[in-house]
């Protein structure tokens, strides 16, 4: 994804008053030159974006296409090495905002077949939020694979709360735990072993997949 941008908020604005109002990223020399050549523009890109709705929307479309092309190429290379490898994406959990502000359209990636599974990062202390997001993504990604990403042990929650969130998430295609210290917490691993519904494995010490 890109860093957060507010440029989409000016989609229908003919002219933006000042560049200071714009929060946007991706203006590397390579990207700017490629974009300007593709659309046959000349001049200062940021000024063109400020003054022209057409340039603004083309720039956002260009950045989204570049991201899709990058994922497509990476997936193709990996699958050529081993077609059985699953390509997953850990995505921001507010889908509409992620799509507009970060150009992270995980549903489109699934539809295009360039990833195999989505893992929305539902980092919360609330079990109700897990249920809400589980229902939301069950409807949004109906027919596609997704698994809830939990922030186990990354907040002030206790072990019991963590285990409750895991059990809740099992209703929604399982879960993946994103954390930094799971394998160093013997008490937690013991409880996982005793209470988990599925075996867990990982090829990264920072992730547990269940």
Predicted confidence (pLDDT) per residue in 93-117, tens digit: 999 999 999 999 999 999 999 999 9
Side-chain-side CA neighbours of 3 within 13 Å: the count stands at 6
In this predicted structure, the answer to whether residue 127 has a pLDDT above a threshold of 90 is no
> Considering only CA atoms, which of 83, 91, 80, 152 is closest in space to residue 117?
91
In this predicted structure, the answer to whether residue 145 has a pLDDT above a threshold of 50 is yes
Give this prediction's pTM: 0.83
| Rounded Cα distance, 13 and 9, in Å | 8
Calculate mean pLDDT across residues 176-184: 69
- Alpha helical stretches, state H, 113-152: 127-140
Token reading at 62: 């260009």
Token reading at 64: 């989204």
> Considering only CA atoms, which of 14, 16, 23, 8 is closest in space to residue 96?
8
Is 58:21 a contact under the CB 8 Å cutoff? no
As a whole number of Å, the CA-based R_g of the chain is 20
In this predicted structure, the answer to whether residue 7 has a pLDDT above a threshold of 60 is yes
Q: What is the pLDDT of residue 157?
A: 63
Is 23:49 a contact under the CB 8 Å cutoff? no
204 pLDDT band, cuts 50/70/90, is: low
Residue written as token pair 């995505």: 91
In this predicted structure, the answer to whether residue 203 has a pLDDT above a threshold of 90 is no
N residues, the chain: 210
To the nearest whole number, what is the mean pLDDT of the chain? 87
> Considering only CA atoms, which of 155, 143, 204 is closest in space to residue 176?
204
């Amino acid at each position: 994804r890109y860093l957060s941008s507010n440029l989409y908020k000016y989609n229908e604005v003919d002219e933006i008053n000042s560049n200071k109002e714009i929060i946007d990223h991706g203006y590397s020399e390579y990207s700017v030159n490629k974009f300007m050549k593709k659309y046959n523009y000349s001049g200062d890109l940021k000024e063109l974006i400020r003054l022209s709705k057409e340039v603004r929307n083309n720039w956002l479309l260009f950045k989204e296409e570049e991201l899709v092309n990058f994922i497509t190429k990476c997936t193709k290379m990996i699958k050529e090495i081993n077609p059985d490898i699953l390509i997953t994406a850990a995505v921001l959990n507010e889908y509409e905002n992620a799509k507009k502000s970060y150009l992270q359209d995980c549903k489109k990636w699934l539809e295009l077949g360039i990833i195999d599974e989505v893992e929305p990062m539902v980092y919360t202390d609330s079990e109700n939020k897990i249920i809400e997001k589980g229902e939301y993504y069950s409807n949004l990604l109906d027919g596609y694979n997704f698994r809830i990403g939990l922030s186990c042990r990354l907040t002030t929650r206790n072990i019991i709360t963590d285990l409750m969130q895991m059990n809740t998430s099992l209703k929604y295609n399982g879960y993946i735990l994103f954390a930094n210290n799971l394998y160093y917490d013997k008490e937690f691993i013991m409880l996982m072993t005793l209470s988990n519904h599925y075996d867990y494995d990982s090829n990264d010490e920072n992730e547990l997949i269940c």
